[in-house]
Amino acid sequence: MAGLIKNNASHPFEERLRPVPMSNSRKLIFACTVWIAFFVLLEGGLAVLGVQSRLETEDPFVGFAAHIPLFAPDSDASGRPIWRTAANKRRFFNAQTFAAEKPAGTRRVFCLGGSTTYGRPYSDATSFCGWLREFLPAVAPGSNWEVVNAGGISYASYRVAALTRELAEMAPDYFIVYTGHNEFLEERTYGELRDRSPILKRADALLRSTRIDAAFRSLLDTPRDPDRPVLQGEVSAVLDGSVGPSAYERDDALRDSVLRHYRFNLERIIRLARDAGADPLLVVPASNLSACSPFRSTHFEGVQPPERERWRRTMDEGQAALDTEDPTRARQAFAEATRLDPRHAEGHYGLGQSLLALNQPEAAEASLRRALDEDICPLRALSPMASIVREVARQHDVVRVDFEALLRARVVAQKGHGAPGDDWFLDHVHPTLEGHRFLALEIIGAMTEAGWIDGQTPLTPDREEEITRRVLSGVDRRTHGIALRNLAKVLSWAGKTQDAGRVARKARDYLEDDANLDFILGTHAAEAGNLEEALSHYARALSRDPGYVKARNNLGTTLAGLGRDREAVTAYREVLWEAPEHSAARFNLANALLRLGELAGAIREYQHVLLDDPDDIDARYNLARTLQRAGQPDQAVDEFRRVLEAAPEDTDARRALEKLTGPN
């Protein structure tokens, strides 16, 4: 029995060989390991097959209705295959060509961005890209440098990212990226993305980064996200075809979404560049702070009408004090205006100007930057955008040229404050020729420091001056003047009459016979109250272009302002002879006739205005007052009532109606 018992007992060695049941936690770890290995292998296999993640191929914020390539295949005079700027892109881009197959020893540099990269208001030759093309061979003669200007007018970062994807297939070595000023130009919404929870946003970003997600979506033919806005294949700016900056309204939520999209685009550009084997360089965008008033300022919603009236009075006091060179009184007035409405950009700009005059540089710069950031029509890169470029460059170990900080240091050394103005910028963002040259040299310095330029040759002052003279001598004076003239016209259209006048005076050095310049200078003089000077400018414009109806209409308003209504009537009638649909001239004519006591003519012209635009409240109110003066009270009552139907808050119309009918 003992032997049987012994045989039935478990032997220690045999017990050790018996399988041990796996715990639930170990089973879970094993299963997870298997699945992770499977997905890693699948992701790797899809990479070998060339499948790209949605993070690389599409923008989660916006889509595009079509892709219009920037470069089209062509051949040069010798029959060699080249890439040439597509004909349908030359409205937005400089004409460029380069070899389809990059020659040995060539380093290809693509410069990307908006109109600053393009070189506006001039063109490629004097852009920082053009300066790079001239300076790089002098600094690194051992390489054949090929600098391609791919800057697109009005191009925002999301269009730059899409363009990077195209250029990544064209053997790039370097991408120089200057973007940030055009982020608010095109109308788009981010409603669905903005409202999504942070967890869902992170999950979506993780999915978009995988090739597995892209492959499954392709197999299942998953439709595009219906909530993602789709932009046209080419730029369609909010300002195009609109009444100007007044098309913009304050939208803080949209602003935050645009900033997130901007960061995403910079990171995408970096990924695309590096995937193509190229090195990216980011430029921190810089803006005109001290000589560029905000494009659009509006009151914050919480500011009530009484505070708005007080704000307007203090602003007028501040401007009058600046005009009479009393900066202390101006500062007090503008400080009160910013207290009444801290979100109104115009108040901060006035305060900044007064602080500059008082030699308080740090406070002045802070006020001027606040004016930039509160601008409702942000056509300059907002301060957070500069911070985003710095952060993205640091996080992704990207070479950076901090143009904003470099200019600030220069201005501090030159003027004692850090707010660049018309010494470095022609307008709100476009650098002077020297500004472009300075930026190009700083980019070369950064490329050298990064080790991208081997065996560099020091750029001596004499060699630098020789190249500078050669580039500037290639600028045709008339072309230069036309570029400045066109810039002045844009500023005038945007309502920035003072800035337009400054640029127009520069253009006058190159163009002596341009009616547009005379018109802009006349508008600038009229706004400053110099009516006789304005009159002479408008007269010169009309002597050069008798059919210039805008100049003739403004001639009429200037004559009226001088009390010469009979001559003004003649001017307005000449406008209407040339352009019968010119409603402003007809309205002005009616007003002049009313002042001359020609009531029947005034009534007839006001009625004509209202036939074209029944919603013109000013014309209807003036018609009612004229009917009242002409002894037609019943008709006047009807018109006043129609004014109040459209504008119930019009107290002048209500008082006039009560005088005719008695209080209700």
Phi/psi for 99 (5° steps) reads -65, 140
Q: What percentage of the chain exceeds 90 in pLDDT? A: 61
Going by DSSP bridges, is the β-strand pair 279-283/399-401 parallel, antiparallel, or unpaired?
A: parallel
Q: Are 403 and 417 in contact (CB under 8 A)?
A: no
Q: Which residues face 237 on adjacent strands?
A: 186
Instruction: Choose among 610, 619, 602: nearest CA to 653.
Output: 619
Q: 477-661 domain in CATH 3.40.50.720? A: no
Q: Tell me: the pLDDT tens digits for 309-354?
A: 999 999 999 999 998 999 999 999 999 999 999 999 999 999 999 9
Q: Tell me: the pLDDT tens digits for 494-516?
A: 778 888 888 888 888 888 888 98
Tokens of 202: 């992170």
Q: Which CATH architecture has domain 305-373?
A: Alpha Horseshoe (1.25)
Phi/psi for 280 (5° steps) reads -90, 150
pLDDT at 203: 53
List all residues 6 or more positions away from 139 whose beta carbon is below 8 Å from its beta carbon.
444, 448, 453, 456, 457, 459
Of residues 641 and 30, more confidently modeled: 641
As a residue count, the chain comes to 664
Residue with token string 């296999």: 45
Give residue 45's region: left, alpha or beta (phi > 0; psi -120 to 50): alpha
Residue with token string 């163009």: 511
Question: How many whole angstroms separate alpha carbon 10 and alpha carbon 1?
Answer: 16
CATH of 65-188+229-290+398-445, one of 3.40.50.1110, 3.40.50.20, 3.40.50.300, 3.30.413.10: 3.40.50.1110
Q: Tell me: the pLDDT tens digits for 362-393?
A: 999 999 999 999 999 999 999 999 999 999 99
Tokens of 2: 């003992």
Q: Tell me: the pLDDT tens digits for 117-134?
A: 999 988 899 999 999 999
pLDDT at 212: 63
Q: Tell me: the pLDDT tens digits for 153-212?
A: 989 999 999 999 999 999 999 999 999 999 988 775 444 433 444 444 445 545 555 766
Continuous H helices in 12-66? 12-17, 24-48, 54-57
Q: Are 61 and 264 in contact (CB under 8 A)?
A: yes
- Cis status, amide bond into 121, omega within 30 of 0: yes
Q: Tell me: the pLDDT tens digits for 540-589?
A: 999 999 999 999 999 999 999 999 999 999 999 999 999 999 999 999 99
Residue 459's pLDDT band, with cuts at 50, 70 and 90, is confident
Q: Across all residues in the chain, what is the average pLDDT?
A: 85
In 45-124, at which residue ranges do the beta strands (DSSP E only) sit?
63-64, 71-75, 81-85, 97-99, 106-113
Axis crossing angle, helix 433-449 with helix 128-139, rounded to the nearest 10:
40
Q: Are 259 and 385 in contact (CB under 8 A)?
A: yes
Q: Tell me: the pLDDT tens digits for 420-447?
A: 999 999 989 999 999 999 999 999 999 9
Q: Look up the pTM and report it.
A: 0.75
Q: Is the pLDDT of residue 52 over 70?
A: no
Instruction: Choose among 112, 120, 6: nearest CA to 443.
Output: 112
Question: How many whole angstroms separate alpha carbon 288 and alpha carbon 426?
Answer: 9
HEC sequence for 152-194: CCCCCHHHHHHHHHHHCCCCCCEEEEECCCCCCCECCCCHHHH
pLDDT at 181: 95
User: Number of C-alpha atoms within 13 angstroms, CB side, residue 487?
Assistant: 30
Residue 411's pLDDT band, with cuts at 50, 70 and 90, is very high
Q: Which residues face 231 on adjacent strands?
A: 64
Q: Is the pLDDT of residue 14 over 70?
A: no
Ranges 75-84, 182-191, 312-321, 646-655: which has the least confidence: 182-191
pLDDT at 649: 83
Q: Which helix (H) or strand (E) holds 149?
A: strand 144-151
What does 384-436 look like in DSSP terms, one character per residue?
HHHHHHHHHHHHTT-EEE-HHHHHHHHHHHHHSSS---TTTBSSSSPBPHHHH
Q: Do 65-188+229-290+398-445 and 477-661 show the same overall fold?
A: no
Q: Are 540 and 567 in contact (CB under 8 A)?
A: no
What is the residue extent of each domain of the chain? 33-60+191-227, 65-188+229-290+398-445, 305-373, 477-661
**What is the number of other CB atoms lying within 10 angstroms of the CB of residue 623?**
26
**3-class SS of residue 652:** helix
Residue with token string 């999504």: 196
Quote the DSSP letter at residue 89: G
Average pLDDT over residues 79-107: 93
pLDDT at 3: 44
pLDDT at 170: 96
pLDDT at 200: 43
Question: How many whole angstroms separate alpha carbon 608 and alpha carbon 487?
Answer: 35
Question: How many whole angstroms separate alpha carbon 119 and alpha carbon 432?
Answer: 10
Radius of gyration of the chain measured on its C-alpha atoms: 33
